[in-house]
């Protein structure tokens, strides 16, 4: 099977690409064009994996490039997106262009090329603060940030192509994925990198929201299992652990593992506007388990252990600027 992964140079995309290669698929990686010829996190993969990946440099906002990249591909995993919530407050236009128009480009090309399967990546942020838990796929949507609003728009475009053109689309909705290679804009790398750099005052925002944290290898396997099942066509499917932990309790656990002397201090620039903060995310994975063979392999304890070990390596830690708030 020939597979295209958009956003393959990113956090989840690089793990998904790596796992697809390990499972024997022919993988083309759509990476963001840049003059440095950087392939993002794919550059860090073992040579025996990297040598088996076909690289396509382009821009998800360009319909011509997207169509060319998708030629000859049976399945497309569409992960390319802008995802940082604070930056979406500053530059919402770029989120519309990338997240909505980029998804439209993938859908239009799939329709033209008769692509067999398209998996569009959503986010738990589309639900907003939980109105009931665990959050099922029937939960109402609420755009509490420009980022989440553009992802809602992209999801509904994907649904429309399934209903209007019988395109074999599935909307994959990961909750809070974490692990090696994650951006410093996310809370777990933020905590770990400050601690590993010897900071004894750990700057964080609001500690009260809860999140459902899924280890990245479980998330990648969720994508693959969803793609294997014909029962998932036309569906929206959460990838979640069906558990929750507050940011404060999470930070306390990580501090305990690395430097129990460290203290948490509130950094006002890290706090979202009151009506924009998503206070509770706690996802249901019942539909994922019912329609696929996915099984969660990593507990939070096991996932954090592997994540901390990865960040503790000097060659990885130096890629992060722990003293700067990364929006």
Domain ranges of the chain: 2-179+213-239
Is residue 327 predicted with pLDDT exceeding 90? no
pLDDT class for 291, splitting at 50, 70, 90?
Answer: very high
pLDDT tens digits for range 166-209: 999 999 999 999 999 999 889 999 999 999 999 999 999 999 99
pLDDT band at 34 (very low <50, low <70, confident <90, very high): very high
Percentage of residues in the chain with pLDDT exceeding 90?
98
Between CA 241 and CA 243 the distance in angstroms is 5
Average pLDDT, the chain: 97
Who's near 281: CB < 8 A, 6+ residues apart? Answer: 124, 127, 130, 135, 175, 176, 209, 210, 211, 212, 244
Asked if residue 326 has pLDDT above 90, the reply is no
Fold of 2-179+213-239: Rossmann fold (3.40.50)
Tell me the pLDDT tens digit for each residue of 246-277: 999 999 999 999 999 999 999 999 999 999 99
Mean pLDDT, rounded, for 290-299: 98
DSSP state of 99: I
What are the pLDDT digits (tens) for 88-128? 999 999 999 999 999 999 999 999 999 999 999 999 999 99
Structure tokens at 83: 């995802």
**pLDDT tens profile 133-178:** 999 999 999 999 999 999 999 999 999 999 999 999 999 999 999 9
Question: What is the residue whose two structure tokens read 């460290």?
Answer: 262
| Percent helix, percent strand, percent coil in the chain, to nearest 5 | 45, 20, 40
Residue 128 confidence (pLDDT):
98
Rounded mean pLDDT of 53-73?
Answer: 98
Record the pTM.
0.97
Q: What angle do CA 7, 296, 133 make, to 5 degrees?
A: 90
Residue 235 to residue 218: CA distance in whole angstroms: 20
Q: Write the DSSP string, 150-171.
A: HHHHHHHHHHHHHHHH---EEE
């Amino acid at each position: 099977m020939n597979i295209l992964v958009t956003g393959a140079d990113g956090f989840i995309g690089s793990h998904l690409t790596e796992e697809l290669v390990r499972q024997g698929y022919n993988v083309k990686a759509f990476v963001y064009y840049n003059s440095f010829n950087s392939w993002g996190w794919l550059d860090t993969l073992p040579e025996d994996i990297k040598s088996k990946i076909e690289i396509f440099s382009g821009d998800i906002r360009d319909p011509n490039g997207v169509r060319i990249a998708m030629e000859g591909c049976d399945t497309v995993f569409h992960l390319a997106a802008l995802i940082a919530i604070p930056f979406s407050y500053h530059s919402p236009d770029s989120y519309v262009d990338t997240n909505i128009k980029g998804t439209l480009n993938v859908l239009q090309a799939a329709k033209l090329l008769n692509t067999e399967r398209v998996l569009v990546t959503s986010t738990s942020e589309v639900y907003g603060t939980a109105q009931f838990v665990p959050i099922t796929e029937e939960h109402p949507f609420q755009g509490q940030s420009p980022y989440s609003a553009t992802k809602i728009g992209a999801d509904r475009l994907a649904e429309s192509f399934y209903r209007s053109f019988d395109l074999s689309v599935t909307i994959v909705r990961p909750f809070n994925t974490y692990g090696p290679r994650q951006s410093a804009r996310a809370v777990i790398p933020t905590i770990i990198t400050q601690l590993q750099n010897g900071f004894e005052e750990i700057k964080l925002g609001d500690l009260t929201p809860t999140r459902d944290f899924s280890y990245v290898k479980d998330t990648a396997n969720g994508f693959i299992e969803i793609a294997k099942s014909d029962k998932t066509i036309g569906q929206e499917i959460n990838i979640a652990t069906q558990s929750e932990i507050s940011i404060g309790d999470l930070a306390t656990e990580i501090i305990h593992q690395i430097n129990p002397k460290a203290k948490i201090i509130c950094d006002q620039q890290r706090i979202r506007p009151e009506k924009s903060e998503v206070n509770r995310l706690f996802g249901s994975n019942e539909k994922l388990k019912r329609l696929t063979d996915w099984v969660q392999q990593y507990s939070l304890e096991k996932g954090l252990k592997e994540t901390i070990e990865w960040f503790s390596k000097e060659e990885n830690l130096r890629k992060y600027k722990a003293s700067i708030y990364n929006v």
